[in-house]
Structure 1
């Protein structure tokens, strides 16, 4: 009968593990951030930071690294970090973007990356602006379903696929203000509703279940409403959700002229 030999392995000495080579190269990237502390500064100032990053990192990762490892006084907004909450909208190399969706590999890291707060809203600190004027316009267009009838007990409000497609694009808005703060009319006119408010009005004006479209059209048929739009397409280019903002504004203008959707 064959015998079985069991070899005992000596585990008294730890085997040194070498880090696995991921093949991803790190880079030293310079960030030029427009800083402003109302308790110290009279005017905003630009401050340079050198950060070691990977091409797969995002601008938000760089801001985290600066705040956590270099300068804890840096202030900015962020929440979900996945392009849904819209809280980290800022100007990156002169364009409105979400920091959490802007990859380092998509930027020219041979040059400094410039980061500043979005325009047209009161600057509070560093990359943080006062969003209240933006949300005031949003609330004014009554961005909620208004119906004169009630659905049957236990039933939903039925809507066809075709009816839904009419306003499907404008349901994507995450209220980041990237479109509104990219609009030159909004920069110079503090009373203009702005693209985001009109987009959210569009979402309900063209909803077949809503009965207050005419009310919203009256609100937007104002000198500071849809007619202030100059169709520069800045808003469409800035939208991180790919909403055809300029098209939506044009459709609201046409509805105003028709007297209804």
Structure 2
């Protein structure tokens, strides 16, 4: 324990069976210089207070499970070094989400938005196996690759001011993932997605605050995806009056 120093953690607690509103609880624990915020939360859970609830899984910034507010900013706690903070660290649940318990938020609303944009390859007719694979050039892959790096951590939703004020807004991650498939040369579902994008709560609700791109731990640029989707949704709408879909044909 000689290589450890004391830090104070102010953690949001909420028990739906007892509490009407969230409260905070303070813990002072010894931490190692190389610890991430998640290490401290796990120490508190294992050694100090087993009632603390929080999500985590891979500890490698891959699964997206451990997103929380750290000193007021959306962060992946497995990637966020304690050494970047002073003697006191505040940890709370992601903003703009209903809280289930303590640091755990409800994601069902996002999953419905996620499904609405159909983030999978849509085709009018699938190839038979004997017809071979759908080939794609490096340039075609590059067109959508960065938007495919999303890990659904929801940091962008916690940062987005529109999500906080407009509950029906599809949000950055859902739009970016839908746009990723619109850009995929193998996909034929852009007309369906663009219809969803044009609806109320779609891409035109975005005010381009750019906070979503600032907080993304995988360097995805949802703000760029939304702006591109705005343009392509209008193009698709205009083309529907003069030519059959799709723009990829």
Please say whether Structure 1 and Structure 2 have the same fold, judged by a TM-score greater than 0.5.
yes
Q: How far has the Cα of 1:223 moved from its partner?
A: 2.1
Deviation string, structure 1 residues 140-166 (Cα, Å, up to 9, x no partner): 101111112333534221000001111
Q: How far has the Cα of 1:195 moved from its partner?
A: 0.5
CA distance in structure 1 between the aligned counterparts of 2:128 and 2:117, rounded to whole angstroms = 28
Aligned to 1:229: 206
Pair 1:59 & 2:37 matched: yes
Query: Which residue of the other structure, out of 170, 176, 182, is the alignment partner of 2:159?
Result: 182
Gaps of 5+ in 1: 1-18
Aligned to 2:181: 204
Query: Which residue of the other structure, out of 120, 129, 145, is the alignment partner of 2:121?
Result: 145
CA distance in structure 2 between the aligned counterparts of 1:54 and 1:129, rounded to whole angstroms = 28
Aligned to 1:94: 72
Aligned to 2:230: 253
CA distance in structure 2 between the aligned counterparts of 1:69 and 1:218, rounded to whole angstroms = 51
Pair 1:32 & 2:10 matched: yes
Aligned to 1:69: 47
Larger radius of gyration: 1
Deviation string, structure 1 residues 151-194 (Cα, Å, up to 9, x no partner): 35342210000011110011101111111221111111111101
Query: Which residue of the other structure, out of 87, 90, 101, is the alignment partner of 1:125?
Result: 101
Aligned to 2:24: 46
Deviation string, structure 1 residues 66-101 (Cα, Å, up to 9, x no partner): 011110000001111111111111100111011111
Deviation string, structure 1 residues 80-128 (Cα, Å, up to 9, x no partner): 1111111111100111011111111122x23x11100011111110001
Aligned to 2:138: 161
Deviation string, structure 1 residues 198-230 (Cα, Å, up to 9, x no partner): 011011010010001111011111221000001
Q: Which moved more, 1:234-243 or 1:144-153?
A: 144-153
Query: Which residue of the other structure, out of 34, 39, 57, is the alignment partner of 1:79?
Result: 57
Pair 1:113 & 2:89 matched: yes
SS in 1 for 2:214: helix
Gaps of 5+ in 2: 237-246
Higher helix fraction (1 or 2): 2
Q: CA RMSD in A?
A: 1.5
Q: TM-score with structure 2 length normalisation?
A: 0.91
CA distance in structure 2 between the aligned counterparts of 1:156 and 1:102, rounded to whole angstroms = 41
Q: TM-score with structure 1 length normalisation?
A: 0.87
CA distance in structure 2 between the aligned counterparts of 1:152 and 1:38, rounded to whole angstroms = 52
Moved over 4 A (4+): none
CA distance in structure 2 between the aligned counterparts of 1:189 and 1:246, rounded to whole angstroms = 17
